[in-house]
Amino acid sequence: QVQLVESGGGLVQPGGSLRLSCAASGFTLDDYAVGWFRQAPGKEREGVSCISSDDGSIYYANSVKGRFTMSADNAKNTVYLQMNNLKHEDTAVYYCATAPLPTCEEVVAALAQGRGSWGQGTQVSVSS
């Protein structure tokens, strides 16, 4: 069965950095796209980044572009989110998610329909 386990969250000061990991099992990153999402208290979930399995294309939300970098290590079946120059607005629970589809467009659509798999989430808190 598909399983996703996030790690790497924590408390960091503004301007600091964290690297999140998402260890995948039950599928290979060569086959399914994987996305990072976040949800802050009182706010709706938003997409952060996504990597497609078909051509390796990576997408970022405008709010994190230039500060966050997503990557994948297919040999380890793990995806990462390097977060630099963190801001208070980045405080949220971060989740990785997937569905059995190769492109980010398809995976995001499937997740919106209630299909696919989510990790348990990892808390990122940015505070001085």
pLDDT tens for the chain, residues 1 to 128? 999 999 999 999 999 999 999 999 999 999 999 999 999 999 999 999 999 999 999 999 999 999 999 999 999 999 999 999 999 999 999 999 999 999 999 999 999 999 999 999 999 999 99
3-state secondary structure the chain: CCEEEEECCEEECCCCCEEEEEEEECCCCCCCCEEEEEECCCCCCEEEEEECCCCCCEEECCCCCCCEEEEEECCCCEEEEEECCCCHHHCEEEEEEECCCCCHHHHHHHHHCCCCEECCCEEEEECC
Look at residue 78 in the predicted model and tell me its pLDDT: 97
